[in-house]
Protein backbone atom coordinates (compact mmCIF):
# COMPACT_ATOMS: atom_id res chain seq x y z
CA UNK A 1 0.00 0.00 0.00
CA UNK A 2 2.72 2.48 1.01
CA UNK A 3 6.49 2.52 1.27
CA UNK A 4 8.80 5.11 2.83
CA UNK A 5 12.29 5.01 1.32
CA UNK A 6 15.22 6.63 3.12
CA UNK A 7 13.09 9.46 4.54
CA UNK A 8 15.06 12.13 6.40
CA UNK A 9 13.62 15.36 7.78
CA UNK A 10 15.75 18.16 9.21
CA UNK A 11 14.57 21.33 10.90
CA UNK A 12 17.61 23.56 10.81
CA UNK A 13 20.30 21.66 12.70
CA UNK A 14 17.86 19.18 14.22
CA UNK A 15 17.25 15.84 12.50
CA UNK A 16 13.68 14.81 13.38
CA UNK A 17 13.72 11.68 11.20
CA UNK A 18 16.88 9.92 10.10
CA UNK A 19 16.75 7.51 7.13
CA UNK A 20 13.33 6.01 7.86
CA UNK A 21 12.33 2.95 5.82
CA UNK A 22 9.21 0.83 6.09
CA UNK A 23 6.47 -0.81 4.01
CA UNK A 24 2.83 -1.27 4.97
CA UNK A 25 0.94 -4.07 3.25
CA UNK A 26 -2.59 -3.89 1.90
CA UNK A 27 -5.14 -4.47 4.67
CA UNK A 28 -2.56 -4.29 7.47
CA UNK A 29 -2.78 -2.35 10.72
CA UNK A 30 0.71 -0.97 11.27
CA UNK A 31 1.90 0.78 14.42
CA UNK A 32 4.34 3.70 14.48
CA UNK A 33 5.58 3.63 18.05
CA UNK A 34 8.11 5.51 20.16
CA UNK A 35 8.61 7.91 23.06
CA UNK A 36 7.55 11.55 22.84
CA UNK A 37 9.74 13.43 20.36
CA UNK A 38 10.71 10.27 18.46
CA UNK A 39 9.51 11.68 15.11
CA UNK A 40 6.21 9.82 14.74
CA UNK A 41 3.91 12.77 14.00
CA UNK A 42 6.60 14.25 11.74
CA UNK A 43 6.41 11.03 9.71
CA UNK A 44 2.62 11.46 9.44
CA UNK A 45 3.05 15.07 8.35
CA UNK A 46 5.45 13.97 5.61
CA UNK A 47 3.12 11.23 4.35
CA UNK A 48 0.19 13.68 4.18
CA UNK A 49 2.19 16.47 2.51
CA UNK A 50 2.17 18.88 5.44
CA UNK A 51 5.98 18.66 5.46
CA UNK A 52 8.32 17.93 2.59
CA UNK A 53 11.12 15.50 3.44
CA UNK A 54 14.69 16.72 3.31
CA UNK A 55 15.47 13.56 1.33
CA UNK A 56 13.86 10.25 0.44
CA UNK A 57 10.70 9.08 -1.34
CA UNK A 58 7.14 8.08 -0.50
CA UNK A 59 5.49 5.52 -2.79
CA UNK A 60 1.71 5.10 -2.42
CA UNK A 61 -0.06 2.47 -4.54
CA UNK A 62 3.00 2.41 -6.86
CA UNK A 63 2.91 6.21 -7.33
CA UNK A 64 5.57 8.62 -6.09
CA UNK A 65 3.71 11.15 -3.90
CA UNK A 66 6.80 12.85 -2.46
CA UNK A 67 6.23 16.62 -2.08
CA UNK A 68 2.64 16.45 -3.34
CA UNK A 69 0.13 18.91 -1.85
CA UNK A 70 -2.11 17.68 0.99
CA UNK A 71 -5.25 18.22 -1.11
CA UNK A 72 -3.97 15.87 -3.83
CA UNK A 73 -2.87 13.28 -1.29
CA UNK A 74 -6.39 13.22 0.18
CA UNK A 75 -7.85 12.72 -3.30
CA UNK A 76 -5.40 9.86 -3.92
CA UNK A 77 -6.78 8.06 -0.87
CA UNK A 78 -4.91 9.01 2.32
CA UNK A 79 -6.79 10.48 5.30
CA UNK A 80 -5.70 11.23 8.85
CA UNK A 81 -6.76 12.27 12.32
CA UNK A 82 -4.68 14.50 14.58
CA UNK A 83 -3.06 14.21 17.99
CA UNK A 84 -5.06 17.24 19.11
CA UNK A 85 -8.73 16.97 18.17
CA UNK A 86 -9.69 19.33 15.33
CA UNK A 87 -13.47 19.58 15.05
CA UNK A 88 -15.61 22.50 13.90
CA UNK A 89 -16.91 23.74 17.23
CA UNK A 90 -20.12 25.38 16.00
CA UNK A 91 -21.20 22.39 13.87
CA UNK A 92 -23.08 19.22 14.72
CA UNK A 93 -21.56 15.77 14.57
CA UNK A 94 -23.40 15.14 11.29
CA UNK A 95 -22.16 18.41 9.75
CA UNK A 96 -18.57 17.68 10.77
CA UNK A 97 -18.74 14.35 8.92
CA UNK A 98 -20.42 15.86 5.85
CA UNK A 99 -17.45 18.21 5.43
CA UNK A 100 -15.32 15.15 4.72
CA UNK A 101 -17.19 14.59 1.44
CA UNK A 102 -16.05 17.95 0.06
CA UNK A 103 -13.46 16.39 -2.26
CA UNK A 104 -16.17 14.18 -3.81
CA UNK A 105 -18.54 16.98 -4.86
CA UNK A 106 -19.65 16.39 -8.44
CA UNK A 107 -21.96 19.36 -8.96
CA UNK A 108 -21.05 22.91 -9.94
CA UNK A 109 -21.49 26.10 -7.95
CA UNK A 110 -24.15 27.13 -10.50
CA UNK A 111 -26.07 23.86 -9.94
CA UNK A 112 -25.94 24.38 -6.18
CA UNK A 113 -27.20 27.98 -6.35
CA UNK A 114 -30.15 27.12 -8.60
CA UNK A 115 -30.83 23.74 -6.93
CA UNK A 116 -30.56 21.58 -10.03
CA UNK A 117 -31.54 17.88 -9.69
CA UNK A 118 -27.92 16.69 -9.60
CA UNK A 119 -27.30 18.89 -6.54
CA UNK A 120 -30.12 17.15 -4.62
CA UNK A 121 -29.00 13.68 -5.75
CA UNK A 122 -25.43 14.29 -4.62
CA UNK A 123 -26.45 15.85 -1.31
CA UNK A 124 -28.75 12.91 -0.53
CA UNK A 125 -25.97 10.44 -1.37
CA UNK A 126 -23.50 12.22 0.96
CA UNK A 127 -26.03 12.40 3.78
CA UNK A 128 -26.85 8.69 3.47
CA UNK A 129 -23.15 7.78 3.48
CA UNK A 130 -22.45 10.07 6.46
CA UNK A 131 -25.22 8.40 8.44
CA UNK A 132 -23.87 4.96 7.55
CA UNK A 133 -20.41 5.96 8.84
CA UNK A 134 -21.92 7.30 12.07
CA UNK A 135 -23.86 4.05 12.54
CA UNK A 136 -20.70 1.95 12.10
CA UNK A 137 -18.91 4.09 14.71
CA UNK A 138 -21.97 4.00 17.01
CA UNK A 139 -22.36 7.77 16.84
CA UNK A 140 -25.67 8.00 15.00
CA UNK A 141 -27.61 8.82 18.19
CA UNK A 142 -25.39 11.90 18.62
CA UNK A 143 -25.67 13.13 15.03
CA UNK A 144 -27.51 16.36 15.93
CA UNK A 145 -25.34 17.15 18.96
CA UNK A 146 -22.71 19.87 18.75
CA UNK A 147 -19.54 17.87 18.10
CA UNK A 148 -17.53 19.44 20.92
CA UNK A 149 -20.27 18.68 23.47
CA UNK A 150 -19.49 14.97 23.27
CA UNK A 151 -17.12 13.09 25.54
CA UNK A 152 -13.44 13.17 24.61
CA UNK A 153 -13.59 9.57 23.39
CA UNK A 154 -16.59 10.24 21.16
CA UNK A 155 -14.96 13.38 19.74
CA UNK A 156 -12.07 11.15 18.71
CA UNK A 157 -14.52 8.90 16.91
CA UNK A 158 -16.11 11.90 15.15
CA UNK A 159 -12.66 12.74 13.78
CA UNK A 160 -12.30 9.18 12.51
CA UNK A 161 -15.77 9.40 10.94
CA UNK A 162 -14.85 12.62 9.12
CA UNK A 163 -11.65 11.00 7.83
CA UNK A 164 -13.67 8.02 6.56
CA UNK A 165 -15.92 10.42 4.64
CA UNK A 166 -12.99 11.17 2.30
CA UNK A 167 -13.14 7.50 1.16
CA UNK A 168 -9.53 6.66 2.02
CA UNK A 169 -7.60 3.53 1.20
CA UNK A 170 -5.03 4.38 3.88
CA UNK A 171 -6.12 5.82 7.24
CA UNK A 172 -3.55 7.46 9.54
CA UNK A 173 -4.61 7.66 13.20
CA UNK A 174 -2.56 9.85 15.55
CA UNK A 175 -3.08 8.54 19.10
CA UNK A 176 -6.70 7.46 18.58
CA UNK A 177 -7.03 5.98 22.08
CA UNK A 178 -5.56 9.01 23.88
CA UNK A 179 -7.80 10.23 26.69
CA UNK A 180 -10.02 7.14 26.58
CA UNK A 181 -10.78 4.95 29.56
CA UNK A 182 -10.39 1.16 29.41
CA UNK A 183 -13.89 0.43 28.13
CA UNK A 184 -13.69 3.18 25.50
CA UNK A 185 -10.36 1.92 24.18
CA UNK A 186 -11.73 -1.66 24.09
CA UNK A 187 -14.69 -0.42 22.05
CA UNK A 188 -12.40 1.53 19.72
CA UNK A 189 -10.26 -1.56 19.09
CA UNK A 190 -13.40 -3.43 18.04
CA UNK A 191 -14.56 -0.51 15.87
CA UNK A 192 -11.21 -0.37 14.04
CA UNK A 193 -11.60 -4.03 13.08
CA UNK A 194 -15.11 -3.32 11.81
CA UNK A 195 -14.17 -0.26 9.74
CA UNK A 196 -11.18 -2.08 8.23
CA UNK A 197 -13.53 -4.67 6.79
CA UNK A 198 -16.45 -2.35 6.07
CA UNK A 199 -14.38 0.29 4.25
CA UNK A 200 -11.53 -1.94 2.98
CA UNK A 201 -8.84 0.01 4.83
CA UNK A 202 -5.16 -0.16 5.57
CA UNK A 203 -4.31 1.62 8.84
CA UNK A 204 -1.18 3.20 10.29
CA UNK A 205 -1.50 4.40 13.86
CA UNK A 206 0.57 6.23 16.43
CA UNK A 207 -0.22 5.12 19.96
CA UNK A 208 1.30 5.01 23.45
CA UNK A 209 -1.19 2.53 24.92
CA UNK A 210 0.70 -0.73 24.44
CA UNK A 211 -2.29 -2.93 25.32
CA UNK A 212 -4.24 -1.19 22.55
CA UNK A 213 -1.31 -1.64 20.15
CA UNK A 214 -1.16 -5.36 20.94
CA UNK A 215 -4.87 -5.74 20.22
CA UNK A 216 -5.02 -3.94 16.87
CA UNK A 217 -1.58 -3.95 15.21
CA UNK A 218 -0.20 -6.67 12.96
CA UNK A 219 3.30 -5.17 12.92
CA UNK A 220 5.03 -2.15 14.46
CA UNK A 221 8.07 -0.01 13.92
CA UNK A 222 9.65 1.79 16.88
CA UNK A 223 11.44 5.14 16.54
CA UNK A 224 13.76 6.79 19.01
CA UNK A 225 15.20 10.24 18.25
CA UNK A 226 14.15 9.81 14.62
CA UNK A 227 15.91 6.46 14.12
CA UNK A 228 14.38 2.99 13.75
CA UNK A 229 15.29 0.76 16.69
CA UNK A 230 12.84 -2.09 16.10
CA UNK A 231 10.50 -3.55 13.49
CA UNK A 232 8.35 -6.63 14.04
CA UNK A 233 5.35 -7.89 15.97
CA UNK A 234 3.93 -6.11 19.04
CA UNK A 235 4.71 -9.16 21.20
CA UNK A 236 8.39 -9.14 20.21
CA UNK A 237 8.56 -5.35 20.63
CA UNK A 238 7.66 -5.59 24.32
CA UNK A 239 10.63 -7.92 24.90
CA UNK A 240 13.20 -5.96 22.88
CA UNK A 241 16.02 -4.45 24.96
CA UNK A 242 16.40 -1.34 22.79
CA UNK A 243 12.69 -0.58 23.06
CA UNK A 244 12.68 -1.09 26.84
CA UNK A 245 15.70 1.19 27.15
CA UNK A 246 14.08 3.91 24.99
CA UNK A 247 10.98 3.97 27.20
CA UNK A 248 12.43 3.23 30.65
CA UNK A 249 16.10 4.23 30.42
CA UNK A 250 19.25 2.20 30.90
CA UNK A 251 19.22 0.52 34.31
CA UNK A 252 22.91 -0.33 33.98
CA UNK A 253 24.01 3.32 34.06
Q: Are 137 and 161 within 8 A, CB to CB? A: yes
pLDDT in tens, 99-139: 887 766 555 555 556 565 655 566 677 788 889 999 999 99
Q: Look at residues 120, 141, 167 and tell me which one is the last residue of a structural domain.
A: 167
Indicate the pTM of the whole model.
Answer: 0.86
Selection from 131, 137, 155 nearest residue 196 by Cα: 137
Q: What is the CATH number of the domain that holds 105?
A: 3.40.50.300
Tell whether 54 and 116 lie within a shared domain: no
Backbone angles phi, psi at 2, to 5 degrees: -145, 145
- Number of domains present in the structure of the chain: 2
> What percent of the chain stands above pLDDT 70?
89
Tell whether 193 and 120 lie within a shared domain: no
- Identify the H or E element spanning 145: none
pLDDT in tens, 156-184: 899 999 999 999 999 999 999 888 888 88
Structural domain harbouring 58: 1-77+168-253
Backbone angles phi, psi at 11, to 5 degrees: -115, 95
Tell whether 173 and 162 lie within a shared domain: no
Q: Look at residues 167, 194, 214 and tell me which one is the last residue of a structural domain.
A: 167
H helices of 99-151, where? Answer: 109-113, 117-136
Q: How many CB atoms lie within 10 A of CB 137?
A: 23
Amino acid sequence: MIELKNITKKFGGVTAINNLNFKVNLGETFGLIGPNGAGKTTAFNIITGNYNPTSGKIIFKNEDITNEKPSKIVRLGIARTFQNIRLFKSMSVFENVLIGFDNHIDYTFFEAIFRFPRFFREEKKFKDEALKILEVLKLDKYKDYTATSLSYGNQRKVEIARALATSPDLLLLDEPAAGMNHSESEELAQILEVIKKEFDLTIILIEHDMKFVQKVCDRVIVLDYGKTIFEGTPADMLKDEKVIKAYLGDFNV
